[in-house]
Amino acid sequence: MTKPEDIIRADVLSMTTYAVADATGFVKLDAMENPFPLPAPLAAQLGEVLAAVALNRYPEPRPAALIEKLKAVMGVPAGADVLLGNGSDELISMIAVACAKPGAKLLAPVPGFVMYQMSAKFAHLEFVGVPHRADLTLDTDAMVAAIAEHKPAIVYLAYPNNPTGTLYPDADIERVIEQAKGSLVVIDEAYQPFAQKSWIGRVLQYENVVVMRTVSKLGLAGIRLGYLVGAPAWLTEFDKVRPPYNVNVLTQAAAEFMLEHVDVLEGQAAELRAERAKLAAALAALSGASVFPSAANFLLVRVPDSDAAFNALLNAKVLVKNVGKMHPLLTNCLRLTVGAPNENAQMLAALEQALK
């Protein structure tokens, strides 16, 4: 009998699946989601829009109306194009596949978003991780040196970074872009609604830069829509490895509708930014907790024992992310999504009790 191990790549056999915890019955603060539902009248309007969608037809591969609306709402500069993906994850995979020449490398600061490294592995790119400084800021000298040594095909810079929340200074990013003239630099702005800074308006100033975004953190994680902004010369090539009909009709319709009501989502993001400041101050006041600066909708907190704190929070029905074993720089760290006020209060009370 033929078995999976006879056929499947050895490195795939050794992997584990992307872990998503069952959050049933928990205060869910582990995945950087917007905790606020749509207002009931708006949700009802959206329901009417989705009810009218032709489910029996394939989606448009490049939905012109949605792309034009994205360009207008998100400030995409004239001359730049937009490529849609089934979340940012698919775009990351597409970039890796398109750039996977024999011996090619992908370089990114670490700790960082795990899918940069996973996409490199899937596409047989060598991944080069450049450690942050001890305070989790970008080690620009090390990045510049690593680019000069490895000459990567792709350089990722998350703006701000996950799981640290760090927003790299523009001068550091400019220095990396300058050093990486032989590479494609992907600036990942998944958390832009909370950083309120962007490189989209500058994307055409550089020949080797594209900007990646998602609507997930804005409050639409369930529809799975990511988009890449850059010069048509780049996006035309990435479009060649895009799966056909990769963005479904319901996602397209929901996104086009919500872009007409983006003020609602931006209002929710503003509330979360205010809650982030309150939560950071409250966490800093807890005995034994050290909070890192964050420009995202989560906070990274170091505690004396992240495993014990994580388990205590689980017992209190609060789900957060224990990142303590992801990288040595994250030892004893928890990543806490900023939730609604009542969720944050419940999490704080449980963590305070755990730290006692």
Are 160 and 35 in contact, with CB atoms under 8 Å apart?
no
Are 99 and 184 in contact, with CB atoms under 8 Å apart?
yes
Q: Give the distance, in angstroms, between the CA of residue 170 and the centroid of all CA atoms in the same chain.
A: 19
Is this model's pTM higher than 0.75 or not? yes
- Summarised one tens digit per residue, pLDDT across range 61-117 is 999 999 999 999 999 999 999 999 999 999 999 999 999 999 999 999 999 999 999
What topology does CATH give the domain 55-261?
Aspartate Aminotransferase; domain 2 (3.40.640)
For position 259, what pLDDT does the model report? Answer: 97
Sign of CA dihedral 98, 72, 88, 225: negative
For position 23, what pLDDT does the model report? Answer: 86
What span, in angstroms and rounded, lies between the C-alpha atoms of 197 and 183? Answer: 23
Are 52 and 75 in contact, with CB atoms under 8 Å apart?
no
Lowest mean pLDDT, pick from 21-25, 77-81, 259-263, 291-295: 21-25
pLDDT at 18 over 90: no
321-331 mean pLDDT: 97
What span, in angstroms and rounded, lies between the C-alpha atoms of 176 and 172? Answer: 6
pLDDT at 16 over 90: no
- What whole-number percentage of the chain has pLDDT above 70? 100
Measured in degrees and rounded to the nearest 5, phi and psi for residue 295 equal -110, 15
For position 136, what pLDDT does the model report? Answer: 97
Closest by CA to 32, choosing from 190, 196, 217, is 217
Tokens encoding 169: 């200074």
Sign of CA dihedral 193, 170, 184, 133: negative
What span, in angstroms and rounded, lies between the C-alpha atoms of 331 and 119? Answer: 25
For position 270, what pLDDT does the model report? Answer: 97
| Mean pLDDT, all residues of the chain | 96
Domain ranges of the chain: 4-40+263-355, 55-261
Q: Do domains 4-40+263-355 and 55-261 have the same CATH topology?
A: no
For position 20, what pLDDT does the model report? Answer: 83
CA 205 vs CA 79, 80, 185: distances in Å: 11, 11, 13
CATH superfamily entry for domain 4-40+263-355: Aspartate Aminotransferase, domain 1 (3.90.1150.10)
Residue 279 burial (CB < 10 Å; 0-12/13-18/19+)? buried
> pLDDT tier at 15 (50, 70, 90 boundaries)?
confident
Residue whose token pair is 């755990």:
354
For position 356, what pLDDT does the model report? Answer: 87
